[in-house]
Amino acid sequence: MTDCIFCKMVSGEIEPDVVYETDDVLAFRDLNPQAPTHVLIIPKKHYSTTNDLQPENAELMGKLVLAAQKVAEIEGLSEQGYRMVLNCNEGAGQTVFHIHLHVLGGRCMQWPPG
């Protein structure tokens, strides 16, 4: 996707503040952090929303969660806890249409989320 900002991060056209990377996923700091730690984890392959996922993408989505576990370790959040958020479509607050897992931590989290 040539006009996707997150694809441009994967291609190197835009340089994010990278926290962690594997062959399949890229984790970088959110531009507008909502917590002391706010990292986005994206699959390097473009999928607009979770509605586009197929059964064969299950392993990839598992890799996103494992990357979140790693990011939490890097950020020192494993014990105190962290929140993972996946917004799907505008009604849920999705603004960038390339799947991304938010990892938030370093402050007390409220429930239910807004």
By CB under 6 A, name the binding residues for ligand AMP: 5, 16, 30-32, 40, 87, 93-96
Three-state secondary structure call for residue 104: strand
Q: Which does 1 bind (CB under 5 to 8 A by kind): Zn ion, ligand AMP, none?
A: Zn ion
Contact mark string toward Zn ion, 31..60, x via CB under 5 A: ---------------x--------------
Residues 19 and 62: their CA atoms lie apart, in Å, by: 18
Q: Does 83 bind Zn ion (CB under 5 A)?
A: no
Q: Is 100 a catalytic residue?
A: yes
CB of 85 to ligand AMP, least distance (A): 7
Shortest Cβ distance from residue 3 to ligand AMP (Å)?
13
End-to-end CA distance of the chain: 31
Enumerate residues 6+ apart whose C-beta is below 8 A from 13: none
DSSP-based three-state secondary structure for 103: strand
Residue 52's contacts (CB-CB under 8 Å, 6 or more residues apart) are 99
**Min separation Cβ 113 and ligand AMP, Å:** 12
Q: Would you give the DSSP letter of residue 4?
A: -
Binding residues for Zn ion, rule: CB under 5 A, are 1, 4, 6-7, 46, 98
The catalytic residue positions are: 100
